[in-house]
Amino acid sequence: MMTQMNGANYMYANTSWGEYYYLVALNNFKAHGMLNEVFSDALLATLQSRLSFCDMFGADASGTAKFRQATKNATYASDLDLQVHTVLTFSHGTMTRTDTLSSGTLTGNMSVETDFTSFADFPSTTANSVGVSVNYANSSATSYGTTGFDSCALSNFEMAGGVTNPLSTTPIGQLHSNFACTTHPFALAGGSRTLSWTLKYADLN
């Protein structure tokens, strides 16, 4: 999902990662034969429905979301400033998301940022020489890479100002690293821009 930042800046709000890590936890329970001991059949059915991407993107895991700039359209109108066509592709051990941004009304420049935080040990996390992907050790996620962004940076997410970053603490573990990728400012009106990321993870099957 994308949310508007200052001006015409947009950021991916990776709310789906909470669902991803929930699925990782469920897979770990299943791998140890504990899934039915922890969750009832009714609750498992509810989780299966709630964690389905089909409700969001359709049965083919693709869809178009539309956004408008509140500063430009203070009251809701039928005009929409930004369209994002999203395709999610799943295979064993790999998940890819591709977003194509387009607009016929936005003027000026905009920029996009995406962040991926990981439970993997930060000292064992390495960015590749080109800087658009990162490899993880001691983690269910093994690598994460992007295309269409202009620069990426790997940073320690666990510590901030010499103390533990409160945003790094989750109910299922400590987040250790953040991989942030950004675009340079670009004009979109009348054109399009395609951005994507690919997450690879240990296939439990």
pLDDT score recorded for residue 171:
84
Per-residue confidence (pLDDT) for residue 67, from 0 to 100: 52
Positions of the chain with pLDDT under 70 = 1-24, 26-27, 44, 46-80, 203-205
Quote the CA–CA distance of 52 and 57 in Å, as a whole number: 9
Gap between the Cα atoms of 148 and 139, Å rounded: 26
Q: What radius of gyration, in Å, describes the C-alpha atoms of the chain?
A: 19
State in Å, rounded, how far the first CA of the chain is from the last one.
29
Q: Which stretches within 89-188 are classed as H helix?
A: none
Distance CA 157, CA 20 (A): 19
Q: Coil, strand, or helix at residue 17?
A: helix
pLDDT for the residue 19: 53
The pLDDT assigned to 105 comes to: 77
What is the per-residue pLDDT for 179? Answer: 93
pLDDT of residue 55: 43
161 φψ region: left (φ > 0), alpha (ψ -120 to 50), beta (else): left
Average pLDDT over the chain reads 75
